[in-house]
């Protein structure tokens, strides 16, 4: 049997022949309802004799009289015809959507779906989420069991948090490796969602082990759209126009309610949330041109996105261009694929702080200083009113309108893939890729800005900062594949190769201020006016470089099929990284899996597949950077001269013995398929050892002591289950209804932890700086919310009465006692869901189609920080607004964290619904047209009183009083805190238009 693979999507073309008869020549055409199918396979049963149709669908083949011809083509049902002496056979083929799924990209090649022995899920463009999609990961939200994709609040300028089967590392990258058209380490930000044909997710260790350390958190394989051999030139346009509004927000008091509880009256009536939010409009335009000849094909696309956020002065404009060329030379021996793309995004990041202060700012305060009920120098603050003398209180409109926070991102990448067919059984691939990324960010606070502009100080007014980083990623991979069939029982495919990856990183930062006051001028483009230039020591400037970040690997894999029912897969990767010391650079990552199609032997009625598979794989995670085996020192630059010190100024202590994290995973899977029903069940157990984490060392004096050191330590166990079921409820010629549901659940436990047991996720100011709410403890689940329990009663001072949890007659609830055995704390909830579901419904009737997608998460809780800070009716906070949810109580007048502020956040949401109509055309210019109407986040069923019930999978810590949030080091051990800087959720309505010319 001969297997032909065309690009990443292919089907099996086979031609078996029975009987011995005299040879005869047969010719004809292969077509579908639209016309010829160039490149269709015409094969003779039982032999390797075959051919392909030319540009016009013509073929000529010499076969034995009485033989059986099998005609096959990507996306069409195979057709068999017995040669009965005729010399001409014309075949019209019928489309088969399921055939597109029969071959799945699995990394360094493809496999027939039924032969896959690992946990792999493939999602095609027809199954993607609809509507305005800002980033490719949103296409998969709720579509892959075990894959969590959350962009809490939906800020268009922030990337979603992605987790595959929970966390897989503490100190490194916890998100999956992205491979685009075979090139490792590419950025999803450089692919417009309109250009994606298919996304495959490698979920378990036996599937991802072929990628070594970079696959430790899973692998996302992206295949972009391409032209087809012999495809006539055509152009398509895809446009979307949408509007978004605030879907939910934190409930606060209006003017009358605020004054009724003793709030300070400043004479106005202002809805601050309305002042800083808007109806946001977005337009998306995608134009693509495709075509092909017998030897080459191409696709060129350009994309324009103009996206507004619901926060005033936030959003982005993006241009993306992508080219994909494929050709064959040397008698079709050499296939060359060229991919290139360019992305330019200009972002107005805005200030999420405006949303935070819109919740807590006095609702009786005016927007402008001229409307204040007393003499107020509004000119000092750019004309805006400010509540002076208060901690953590800034006019949200002034924040959004006076200050600037914008940036650009430029991404350029290309790849060349050379595939040479030495024989029908032996091929070699050379893949070269490079990606250059440049990010710039500029922030400017004028001298009149009270928020970070120092407007009330006589010194150093205003601020301008400039940040740039450049990342260059280069890859080269060379691998060969040998495949063959031995008798009718065994087929074998062997792949082996070499991988080289190198990344260079550079960054630069400059900040200065002290601009001339009283001048209405934008000094961000005239920084020479800064008085800091007169005193250079006050300028904040730094730079960093991280080059020679290199990974080298040798890998091999064997796939065997026995009796067309037993499937075996084994791989081994030896990998070295420059991020480790000289003696610890290399690691070995094995994997093995086996699958059996039991129905081959059971022959169950109406069953197409009943497969059991078992896989085991080892991967390992990298530390966050190079040079951890070397010491770093702080720079001394002052009156005593310039230099560095090896004593007392150590920032990082070297660790030449730092080694790989190691993840071991076993996966048991079951697959079932019949004519209408298909189901997949995966059960897995994962152990992670030797986490790489930064540990603070004690400074005992002398030598290279003190500072921090990256060390190995800690163990984690995750056990989970994933289920996917799909059923064709109605399957008729003009009417169809398909429904599918995915279900995933997992439990992650800290077996041991570096640095000992502790609490983390400090609530922050005002007043709760010493309140940590997440427990990190050996033998416990990740994300346990830890604290005292509210009894439901308050004392005469309005202080909540807490419960004596252990019943020993002594109430111990101080944060300093949080880990004591006799502390009256308990688990108040957990930040990770017990389970997540996605429910897809697809209906077609005639030219109409309807898609409805529901998504939900259950069992998780959130610490509602807005309530914890601003719900108690504290008299000293009468100049701040009060949160006024349905849970609020007028008798609580003291801010005391307890179970009262921990809420179950279960939700079930109509996440996406679209209605489309295909307009038939009989025109020389327009082939077809489709219009659609889609809604996102249409409704949510939840009891959570915050802005968004979606899980918070990690924590960036607290920030207050104008401080700057650091998003570089998220704490993945602290899920479950709904911070005050989170974005508001939005509801979007989209009108779509697609035209094919």
| pLDDT higher at 542 or 913 | 913
Q: What is the mean pLDDT of residues 100-117?
A: 79
pLDDT surpasses 70 at 700: no
Instruction: Identify which of 666, 615, 667, 485 has the alpha carbon closest to the alpha carbon of residue 560.
Output: 485
| Token reading at 232 | 């006539």
| Planar angle of CA 871, 872, 878, nearest 5 degrees | 90
Q: What is the reported pLDDT for 628? A: 79
Distance CA 234, CA 996 (A): 7
CA distance 494 to 742: 33
pLDDT tens digits, 414-428: 999 999 999 989 999
User: Residue 643: what pLDDT?
Assistant: 54
Residue 268: predicted pLDDT:
95
645 pLDDT above the threshold of 50: no
pLDDT of residue 5: 30
With CA atoms as reference, report the closest residue to 349 among 193, 189, 510, 159.
159
Token output for 209 = 């082990």
Q: Into which CATH architecture does domain 23-96 fall?
A: Sandwich (2.60)
**Exposed, middle or buried by CB within 10 Å (0-12, 13-18, 19+), for 436?**
middle
Asked whether the beta carbons of 759 and 774 are under 8 A apart, the reply is yes
In this prediction, residues 494-522 reach a mean pLDDT of: 91
Residue 305 has pLDDT above 90, yes or no: yes
Fold observed for domain 101-224: Ferric Hydroxamate Uptake Protein; Chain A, domain 1 (2.170.130)
Tokens 């004593």 sit at which residue?
647
Mean pLDDT throughout 120-132?
80
Per 3-state DSSP, what percentage of the chain is helix, strand, and coil (rounded to 5)?
10, 50, 40
Q: Identify the pLDDT of residue 452.
A: 93
The Cα–Cα gap between 854 and 864 comes to: 25
The three-state DSSP-derived secondary structure of 758-809 is EEEEEEECCCEEEEEEEEECCCCECCEEEECCEEEEECCCCCEEECCCCCCC
Span 944-956, pLDDT tens digits: 999 899 999 999 9
> Dihedrals φ, ψ of 424, to 5°?
-65, -20
Do domains 23-96 and 101-224 share one topology? The answer is no
Residue linked to tokens 């696959």: 215
Q: State the residue for tokens 């010190």.
A: 645
- In three-state form (DSSP H/G/I as H, E/B as E, the rest C), the secondary structure along 256-288 is HHHHHCCCCCCCCCCCHHHHHECCEEEEEEEEE
Mean pLDDT of 954-973: 89
Q: Give strand ranges (E) for 181-228.
A: 183-184, 196-202, 219-224
Distance of CA 615 to the CA centre of its chain: 25
| pLDDT score of 895 more than 50 | yes
Q: Is the pLDDT reported for residue 164 higher than 60?
A: yes
Average pLDDT over residues 862-889: 93
Cα(655)–Cα(664) distance, rounded to whole angstroms?
Answer: 24
Confidence at residue 633, expressed as pLDDT on a 0 to 100 scale: 63
Q: Tokens representing 641?
A: 């001269």
Arithmetic mean of pLDDT, 173-200: 85
Extents of the domains making up the chain: 23-96, 101-224, 758-829
Contact 368, 385 (CB under 8 A): yes
What is the C-alpha to C-alpha distance for residues 24 and 87, in angstroms, rounded to an integer? 8
What integer pLDDT is reported at residue 567 of this predicted model?
95
Using pLDDT thresholds of 50, 70 and 90, give the confidence band for residue 95. Answer: low
Taking the CA of residue 860 as centre, how many other CA atoms within 13 Å lie in the half-sphere pointing to its CB? Answer: 31
pLDDT greater at residue 411 or residue 294: 411
Phi, psi of 12 (to 5 degrees): -80, 125
Per-residue pLDDT band at 307 (split at 50, 70, 90) = very high
């Amino acid at each position: 049997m001969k297997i032909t693979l065309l690009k990443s999507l292919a089907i099996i073309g086979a031609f078996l022949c029975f009987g011995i008869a005299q040879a005869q020549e047969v010719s004809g055409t292969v077509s579908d309802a639209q016309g010829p199918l160039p490149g269709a396979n015409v094969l003779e049963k039982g032999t390797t004799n075959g051919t392909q149709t030319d540009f016009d669908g013509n073929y000529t083949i010499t076969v034995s009289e009485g033989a059986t011809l099998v005609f096959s083509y990507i996306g069409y049902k195979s057709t068999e015809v017995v040669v009965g002496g005729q010399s001409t056979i014309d075949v019209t083929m019928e489309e088969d959507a399921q055939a597109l799924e029969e071959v799945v990209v699995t990394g360094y090649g493809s496999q027939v779906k039924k032969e896959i022995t690992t946990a792999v899920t493939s999602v095609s463009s027809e199954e993607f989420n609809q509507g305005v999609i800002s980033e490719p990961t949103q296409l998969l939200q709720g579509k892959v069991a075990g894959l969590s994709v959350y962009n809490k609040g939906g800020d268009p300028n922030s990337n979603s948090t992605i987790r595959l089967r929970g966390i897989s590392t503490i100190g490194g990258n916890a998100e999956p490796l992205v491979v685009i058209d075979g090139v490792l380490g590419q950025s999803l930000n450089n692919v417009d969602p309109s250009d994606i044909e298919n996304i495959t997710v490698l979920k378990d260790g036996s599937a991802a082990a072929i990628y070594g350390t970079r696959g430790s958190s899973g692998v996302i394989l992206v295949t972009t759209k391409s032209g087809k051999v012999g495809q006539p030139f055509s152009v398509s346009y895809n446009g979307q126009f949408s509007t978004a509004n605030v879907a939910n927000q934190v409930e606060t008091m209006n003017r009358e309610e605020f004054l009724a509880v003793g709030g300070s009256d400043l004479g106005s009536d202002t809805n601050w949330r309305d002042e800083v939010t808007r109806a946001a409009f977005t337009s998306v335009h995608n134009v693509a041109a495709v075509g092909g000849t017998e030897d080459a094909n191409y696709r060129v696309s350009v994309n324009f996105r103009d996206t507004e956020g619901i926060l005033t002065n936030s959003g982005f404009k993006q241009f993306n261009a992508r080219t994909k060329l494929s050709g064959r030379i040397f008698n079709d021996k050499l296939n060359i694929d060229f991919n290139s793309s360019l992305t330019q995004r200009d972002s107005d990041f805005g200030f999420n702080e405006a949303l935070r202060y819109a919740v807590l700012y006095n609702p009786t305060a005016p927007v402008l200083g001229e409307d204040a009920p007393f003499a107020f120098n509004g000119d000092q603050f750019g004309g805006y009113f400010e509540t002076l003398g208060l901690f953590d209180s800034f006019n949200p409109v002034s924040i959004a309108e006076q200050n600037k926070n914008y940036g650009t991102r430029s991404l350029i990448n290309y790849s060349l893939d050379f595939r040479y067919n030495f024989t029908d059984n032996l091929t070699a691939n050379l893949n070269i890729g490079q990606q250059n990324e440049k990010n710039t960010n500029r922030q400017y606070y004028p001298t009149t800005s009270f928020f970070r502009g120092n407007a009330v100080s006589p010194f150093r007014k205003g601020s301008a900062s400039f940040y740039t980083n450049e990342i260059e990623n280069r890859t080269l991979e060379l691998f060969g594949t040998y495949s063959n069939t031995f008798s009718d029982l065994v087929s074998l495919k062997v792949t082996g190769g070499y991988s080289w990856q190198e990344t260079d990183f550079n960054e630069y930062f400059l900040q200065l201020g002290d601009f001339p006051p009283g001048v209405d001028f934008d000094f961000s483009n005239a920084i020479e006016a800064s008085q800091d230039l007169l005193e250079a020591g006050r300028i904040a400037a730094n730079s960093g470089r991280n080059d020679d970040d290199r990974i080298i690997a040798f890998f091999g894999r064997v796939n065997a099929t026995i009796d067309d029912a037993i499937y075996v897969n084994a791989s081994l990767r030896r990998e070295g990284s420059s991020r480790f010391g000289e003696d610890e650079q290399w690691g070995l990552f094995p994997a093995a899996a086996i699958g059996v199609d039991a129905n081959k032997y059971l022959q169950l009625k109406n069953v197409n597949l009943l497969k059991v598979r078992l896989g085991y794989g080892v991967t390992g995670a990298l530390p966050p950077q190079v040079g951890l085996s070397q010491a770093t020192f702080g720079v001394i630059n002052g009156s005593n001269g310039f230099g560095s010190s090896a004593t007392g100024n150590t920032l990082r202590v070297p660790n030449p013995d730092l080694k790989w994290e190691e993840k071991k995973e076993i996966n048991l899977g079951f697959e079932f398929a019949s004519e209408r029903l298909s189901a997949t069940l995966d059960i897995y157990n994962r152990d992670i050892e030797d986490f790489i984490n930064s540990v603070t060392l004690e400074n005992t004096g002398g030598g290279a002591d003190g500072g921090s050191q990256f060390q190995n330590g800690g163990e984690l166990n995750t056990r989970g289950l994933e289920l996917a079921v799909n059923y064709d409820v109605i399957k008729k010629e003009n009417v169809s209804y398909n429904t599918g549901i995915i279900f995933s659940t997992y439990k992650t436990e800290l077996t041991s932890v570096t640095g000992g047991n502790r609490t983390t996720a400090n609530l922050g100011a005002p007043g709760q700086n010493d309140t940590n709410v997440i427990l990190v403890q050996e033998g416990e689940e990740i994300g346990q919310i830890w604290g005292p329990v509210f009894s439901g009663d308050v004392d005469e001072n309005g202080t909540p009465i807490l419960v004596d949890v252990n019943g020993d007659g002594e109430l111990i609830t101080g944060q300093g006692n949080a880990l004591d055995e006799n502390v009256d704390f308990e688990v108040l909830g957990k930040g990770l869901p017990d389970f997540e579901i996605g429910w897809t419904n697809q209906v077609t009737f005639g030219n109409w189609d309807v898609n409805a997608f529901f998504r939900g998460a259950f069992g998780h809780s959130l610490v509602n920080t807005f309530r914890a800070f601003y719900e108690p009716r504290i008299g000293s906070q009468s100049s701040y607004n009060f949160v006024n949810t349905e849970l609020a109580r007028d008798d609580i007048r003291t801010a005391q964290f307890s179970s009262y502020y921990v809420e179950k956040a279960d939700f079930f949401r109509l996440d996406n619904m679209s209605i489309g109509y295909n307009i038939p055309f009989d025109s020389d210019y327009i082939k077809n047209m489709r219009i659609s109407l889609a809604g996102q986040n249409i409704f949510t069923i939840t009891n959570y009183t915050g802005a968004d019930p979606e899980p918070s999978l990690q924590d960036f810590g607290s920030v207050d009083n104008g401080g700057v949030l650091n998003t570089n080091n998220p704490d993945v051990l602290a899920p479950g805190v709904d911070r005050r800087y989170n974005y508001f959720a939005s509801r979007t309505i989209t009108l779509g238009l697609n035209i094919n010319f």
